[in-house]
Amino acid sequence: MSEQLKMYRLSTTPFTELTLPEGYSYSNYRNESDKLAWVECCKDGLVADDADASVFDKRESAKPHINLEKDVFFLDYNGEHIGTCTAVHHTDNNEGELHMVGMKTEFRGKGLGKYLNNIAVKKLLADGADYIVLTTDEWRLGAVKSYLSSGFQPVKYDIGMVTRWEYTLTALGVDECVMLNDDRSVFGTIHRRNRAKDDKIIRLGVLGAGRGRTMMEYCKHGKNAKIVAVCDFYEPALKDIRKSFGEDIALYPDFDEFIKHDMDGVVLANYANAHAPFAIKCMENGKDVLSEVLPVQTLKEAVELTECVEKTGRTYAYAENYCYMPAPREMRRMYKDGLLGEFEYGEGEYMHNCEPGWHRYTRGLPEHWRNTMYSTYYCTHSIGPIIHISGLRPVSVTGFETPCNDRMKRMGAKAGHTGMEIITLENGAIVKSIHGVGCSKCSIWYSMYGSKGMAESSREFADIGGVRHLHAEYDDTDVASEDMTHHKIDCDPKDELSEAAGDSGHGGSDFYTSYYFAQRLLGERNAEIIEIYEALNMFLPGLFAYRSILAGNNSMEIPDFRDKAQRDKYRNDTACTDPETAGDMLIPSYSKGDPEIPEESYKIMQEKYKKHLENK
């Protein structure tokens, strides 16, 4: 869940006391009888519809720093309390805090909010506060507008805030405003998006016309996004796009021209080891990013990407679609609802015999990323869902890899056919993740044990739906007894969103990455995107697992990239299998040294790819 919007009003911002319209007056909290009136003012937004006076005690009376008679205000109309706000002065840091600003429903939309803000600001200025802070939500548009006109300014204190504020300005029809940093220095002027107030369609560009077609297919039916431009330097791919998606999409062979196109966000579906430099260019050019797997190639890129997301305030979403497959989605819901208890052990598998399609995936190029990646690189399909379900950070990993088998050599892939990560999470839970492209059979499978029960997807070959099907068994308590009730689930989980996802690719999961990305840009704060820190929590175990393999399966610590001090150590770490990026930190793609791949293998792949193009 993302943080709320935050606003500051500096004491240096000019203040004008407003005169109340006829019939209106202010009062302060006096006695018990005001509690219910306060609750009535806060209903329909701030407190539940059936709230009673005890809510006032929880939210206000119980807080030691609040002086009810001084800090809780009412706006009155003909003697009736119709609005309220609380203005607290924290003397320890000289901060003013404005909260619980509520208005009875029938008095909303009349421009009365500014009087509540005005009385609170007047009080806190008189108290001598250096600044006033409040938090709010994108959907409280009337309130946000009123705060802006009362001198409050947006604060860039969490990732994605610039994007969120730009769309809030758009929805308000406000052209621009000055945004502050969390330390109250000026971040800069931010502007509304180039669109009408009520335009609810995000304009996307796509880099990479292979997998990128998935997001384009989404936009054919999705109601919240449309594709306006596509970039690919491979001519036949662009021609295919023209044929399948018509004349309305601008096509670019060159990224530097493409990025100038008027669009809100870019889907990065270019090479899996080249996402970070493009993500950074996009964000620095004011575009939000939906990045295909994987997020980065090196730790240096991980530092640069993280700091770009933090610095620009843009939205970065990681398209790890496997998190949204039906069984993992339901497992997440069950886990968040507490049905499975505390997470203790989990497994994720993404075993994919890619031999039949390898000529299409690599075009027979010996240096294609799929041929040069190490065994534990492509790890987020297996690790991602477990991280997303548990919400826990990986802290250490031990890696293993199988040999580079004959299948890999026939494909031209220079790595062990399967990689494995044994990961310890921050609460001590263990995750086993395996994934490979050169195994004999395919398996996408997730399981997790909590302190109260376990849940897993069905096995692909069991022919009952694979990741569309869920089995679970859990108890009401984690203390087992002979007569306890066990809850059993055996179902194909469905809800409104999965109905909308229908049979979109990868077990319906391809729908969600695009859908949530567009929803987030449109102001849905809790749209379930995977942000940069979570993306790295899914990726870093694979990177460090390979270091573990190269070091004889020693356990490796995984840094927390939220912490600048921890990531500092990796600022110049370019170790990877791509010579251009690695420089003098080049590592082999196979732990036992680069395997001998017969030249013939690539020739066969190129021939097959040629035939594939001819038969299209």
Ligand X SMILES: NC(=O)c1ccc[n+]([C@@H]2O[C@H](COP(=O)([O-])OP(=O)(O)OC[C@H]3O[C@@H](n4cnc5c(N)ncnc54)[C@H](O)[C@@H]3O)[C@@H](O)[C@H]2O)c1
Which residues are near ligand X by CB under 6 A?
A: 207-211, 231-234, 237, 255, 269-272, 274, 292-293, 319, 321, 361, 506
608, 355 Cβ separation under 8 angstroms: no
For the chain, the 3-state helix, strand and coil shares in percent, each to the nearest 5, are 35, 25, 40
- Nearer residue to ligand X within complex by CB, 240 or 478: 240
Q: Which residue has the tokens 């190269």?
A: 550
Nearest distance in Å: CB 268, ligand X: 8
Q: How far is the CB of 322 from ligand X (least distance, A)?
A: 7
Q: Which is nearer to ligand X, 66 or 216 (CB)?
A: 216
| Secondary structure (3-state) at 468 | helix
Q: Which residue is nearest to ligand X (CB)?
A: 210
Residue 43 tokens read as 């209903």
- Cβ of residue 383: shortest distance to ligand X, in angstroms? 14
Residues 420-424: contacts with CB within 8 Å, 24+ apart? 420/376, 420/545, 421/376, 421/379, 421/383, 421/397, 421/541, 421/542, 421/545, 422/397, 422/398, 423/383, 423/394, 423/396, 423/397, 423/541, 423/558, 424/394, 424/395, 424/396, 424/397
For residue 70, report the phi and psi dihedrals to the nearest 5 degrees: -95, -35
HSE-CB of 182 using CA atoms within 13 angstroms = 9
For ligand X, the closer of residues 82 and 230 by Cβ is 230
Smallest gap from residue 6 Cβ to ligand X (A): 34
Smallest distance from the beta carbon of 120 to ligand X, in angstroms?
A: 48
Enter the tokens of residue 42.
């806060």
Distance between CA 235 and CA 578 in Å, rounded?
Answer: 24
Q: Which lies closer to ligand X via its Cβ, residue 131 or residue 255?
A: 255
State in angstroms the smallest separation of the CB of 539 from ligand X: 12
Q: How far is the CB of 278 from ligand X (least distance, A)?
A: 7
Nearer to ligand X, 237 or 290 (CB): 237
CB nearer ligand X, residue 180 or residue 437: 437
Residue 269 or 527 having the CB closest to ligand X: 269
Minimum Å gap between C-beta 213 and ligand X is 8
Tell whether omega for the bond before 294 is within 30 degrees of 0, i.e. cis: yes
| Max CA distance (Å), the chain | 90
**In the complex, what is the shortest distance from the CB of residue 412 to ligand X, in angstroms, rounded to a whole number?**
14
Listed residue (46, 211, 149, 202) closest to 517, CA to CA = 202
Please say which residue, 140 or 275, places its beta carbon nearer to ligand X: 275
**CA of 299: how far to CAs of 58, 401, 570, in Å?**
46, 21, 6
Where is 358: in which H helix or E strand? Answer: helix 358-362
One-letter identity of residue 177:
C
Handedness of CA 115, 120, 124, 129 (dihedral sign): negative
For residue 192 the two structure tokens come to: 């509304």
Nearer to ligand X, 231 or 423 (CB): 231
CB of 363 to ligand X, least distance (A): 7
Rounded Cα gap, residues 86 and 67, in angstroms: 10
Of 142 and 210, the one with the shorter C-beta distance to ligand X is: 210
Residue 576: what are its φ and ψ, rounded to 5°? -170, -175
Give the shortest CB-253-to-ligand X separation in angstroms: 7
Q: Mutual orientation of helices 510-521 and 212-221 as an angle, nearest 10°?
A: 70
Residue number, 157 or 233, with CB nearest to ligand X? 233
CA–CA separation, 113 and 198 (whole Å): 23
CB count, 10 Å around CB of 365? 15
* CA 72 – CA 83 distance, rounded (Å): 11
- Best CA proximity match to 494, nearest among 287, 251, 330: 330
Closest separation between CB of residue 291 and ligand X, Å? 8
Q: Which is nearer to ligand X, 319 or 448 (CB)?
A: 319
Q: Shortest distance, CB of residue 233 to ligand X, whole angstroms?
A: 4
The secondary structure of 27-76 as a DSSP string is EE--STHHHHHHHHHHBTTTB-TT--HHHHIIIIIT-TT--HHHHEEEEE
Q: In terms of CB distance, is 255 or 609 closer to ligand X?
A: 255
